[in-house]
Each structure stands twice: as C-alpha cells, then as structure tokens.
C-alpha cells in the first residue's frame, strides 16, 4: 500500500476539544462537573452535535439552534434537564474557552515527519468556514498544512459523513482513493464517510468508543504517533 496523501479531521483529532468543554462545565455547571464523568458527557455532547448537524446541513435548523440544543440533549442523555437559557449561556462561555485551544503535543512534529516522507498533508473538517478557520489559525496549523489543502464542509457545500466531500478532495489532489488515508476520531463522520469513498482510514479512538457499523478501518490507534507505522 502506497499512501500519497494523508488528511486529518480537526476537532478532537488534532486538538483536545474536550478541554474547553470540561472547563465550561466546571465554570457554569459545577454540580454537574462534580457528579458526572466528563468523558462520558463529552461523548454525549459530540453525538448530539453530529446528530443535529444533519438537520443543519439540510437547512432544517440554524447553527444557533444546533449549538444550544446539543447541550440540552447531552445532559438529557445523562438524566439531567437544563433550559434553553442555560444552554445558551453555556455555548457563549464554551466559544470563549475555545479560543484557548491547544494542539495535542505530538502534532507539530508528526505533521512535519509525514511531510518529510513525501506525503501530502491536508485537512477535512465539518463546520462553518469562519469558525473552523479561526480555530485552525489559533492552533498554528496553517504553518503545517497549506491553506489550499484545508477543506471545511460549509465551504465545500457537503459535510461528512457524505462521501461526496471525500470525492471532492480526491479530485482536487488528483489521486486514486487507495492512495489516500484519512485520520479522525468520529466513527460515523470519519471512518464511515471516508470508507464509503474508497479511502483508507485510521480511527483515532482516544475516547475509547465502540464501532457503530461493520466498516473496517486500516487500524485503530490510540496515539497519533502510531500513524507513522502505516505510512
């Protein structure tokens, strides 16, 4: 197998997106932070966000509604009820805390090592263009990944797990599907989506989730440095 290009997911793959979430829960909902497992709650939050994203992409829900409702649903899944105003305040503080994102420590050297091997490095991420590029800039990722190889779903017009976004990227880099490798933490968005497009994939399962379908990634990894074993 010869991999010529490797594309990454952004959120919770190249940076720890649970950190600002936990910080916000501790600041605004201290009783929840003391009672619940934060990893379990964050997984519920991500699942709710992914589920609601489909309605947003279909034009059936605004971004503001999505960002408010996902916390309500996440807490409901843990048998806790909050109202819309509390969820709105949570989102405001969460956005502020997201401005303090940090890359996983191994990421900068990993990206440069992959490029030294002659492999093209890019990114495919779901989200609003301005919001995602703001995070990418604050993380310093644009010094490692060329801007023309960063694909944001709202800019492309199609979102993961729809394989069309992977087809779009494949055509842009003019490679065959088996020459492309995708790395991400979300089973549905990253593994299912890329697999349907014929790409190889690595599941970065650092949150210890269970597979949701019978799709077969190239491997399951728990540390990003393990990527080097496959390129």
- Digit-coded pLDDT (tens) for 81-107: 999 999 999 999 998 898 888 899 999
Average pLDDT over residues 118-141: 94
**Per-residue confidence (pLDDT) for residue 58, from 0 to 100:** 87
**Per-residue confidence (pLDDT) for residue 50, from 0 to 100:** 86
Q: Domain containing 53: what range? A: 18-98
Pick the last residue of a domain from 98, 130, 152: 98
Do 205 and 167 share a domain, yes or no?
A: yes
Torsion of CA 81, 86, 92, 93, to 10 degrees: -80
Do 81 and 54 share a domain, yes or no?
A: yes
Do 152 and 57 share a domain, yes or no?
A: no
pLDDT single digits (tens) 157-198 = 999 999 999 999 999 999 999 999 999 999 999 999 999 999
Do 42 and 65 share a domain, yes or no?
A: yes
Q: Does residue 161 have a cis peptide bond before it, meaning omega lies within 30 degrees of 0?
A: yes
pLDDT at 230 over 90: yes
Do 10 and 24 share a domain, yes or no?
A: no
**Per-residue confidence (pLDDT) for residue 73, from 0 to 100:** 95
**Per-residue confidence (pLDDT) for residue 108, from 0 to 100:** 97
Alpha helical stretches, state H, 58-127: 63-76, 84-98, 107-116
pLDDT single digits (tens) 17-70 = 899 999 999 999 999 888 889 989 998 998 899 889 888 888 999 989 999 999
Pick the last residue of a domain from 98, 113, 136: 98
Do 139 and 225 share a domain, yes or no?
A: yes
Do 133 and 176 share a domain, yes or no?
A: yes
**CA 230 to each of CA 35, 64, 115, 204, 216: distance values in angstroms, whole numbers, following the listed order:** 40, 40, 14, 13, 15
- CATH number (domain holding residue 148): 3.40.50.1000
Spell out a b/e string for 155-183, using b for 16 or more CB atoms within 10 Å of the CB, else e.
Answer: ebebbbbbbebbbbbbeeeebeeebbbbb
- According to DSSP, residue 191 is labeled I
- CATH number (domain holding residue 33): 1.10.150
Do 69 and 127 share a domain, yes or no?
A: no
Do 83 and 10 share a domain, yes or no?
A: no
Number of H helices, E strands in the chain: 10, 6
pLDDT at 219 over 70: yes
Do 153 and 193 share a domain, yes or no?
A: yes
Chain mean pLDDT for the chain:
94
**Per-residue confidence (pLDDT) for residue 113, from 0 to 100:** 97
In angstroms, rounded to a whole number, what is the distance separating the alpha carbons of residues 103 and 13?
A: 9
**Per-residue confidence (pLDDT) for residue 202, from 0 to 100:** 98
Query: How many structural domains does the chain have?
Result: 2
**Per-residue confidence (pLDDT) for residue 1, from 0 to 100:** 64
**Per-residue confidence (pLDDT) for residue 84, from 0 to 100:** 93
Pick the last residue of a domain from 98, 129, 160: 98
In angstroms, rounded to a whole number, what is the distance separating the alpha carbons of residues 91 and 83?
A: 13
Average pLDDT over residues 116-125: 98
Do 94 and 107 share a domain, yes or no?
A: no
Other Cβ atoms less than 10 A from the Cβ of 61: the count is 15
Q: Which two tokens stand for residue 209?
A: 């989730």
226 exposure class (CB count in 10 Å sphere: 0-12, 13-18, 19+)? middle
Do 198 and 219 share a domain, yes or no?
A: yes
Q: Give the three-class secondary structure for 176.
A: coil
Average pLDDT over residues 205-230: 94
Average pLDDT over residues 109-135: 96
């Amino acid at each position: 197998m010869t991999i010529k290009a490797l594309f990454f997911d952004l959120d919770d793959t190249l940076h720890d997106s649970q950190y600002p979430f936990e910080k916000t829960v501790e600041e605004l909902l201290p009783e929840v932070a003391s009672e619940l497992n934060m990893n379990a709650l964050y997984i519920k939050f991500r699942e709710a966000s992914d589920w609601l994203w489909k309605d947003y992409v279909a034009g059936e829900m605004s971004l503001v509604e999505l960002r408010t409702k996902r916390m309500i649903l996440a807490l409901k899944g843990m048998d806790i009820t909050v109202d819309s105003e509390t969820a709105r305040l949570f989102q405001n503080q969460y956005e502020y805390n997201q401005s303090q994102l940090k890359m996983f420590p191994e990421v900068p050297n990993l990206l440069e090592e992959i490029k030294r091997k002659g492999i093209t490095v890019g990114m495919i991420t779901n989200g609003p263009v301005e919001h995602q590029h703001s995070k990418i800039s604050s993380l310093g990722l644009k010094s490692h990944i060329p801007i023309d190889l960063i694909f944001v779903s709202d800019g492309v017009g199609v979102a993961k797990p729809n394989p069309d976004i992977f087809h779009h990227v494949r055509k842009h880099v003019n490679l065959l599907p088996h020459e492309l490798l995708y790395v991400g933490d979300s089973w549905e968005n990253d593994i299912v989506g890329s697999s349907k497009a014929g790409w190889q994939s690595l599941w970065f399962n650092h949150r210890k989730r269970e597979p949701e379908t019978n799709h077969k990634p190239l491997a399951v990894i728990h540390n990003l440095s393990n990527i080097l074993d496959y390129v």
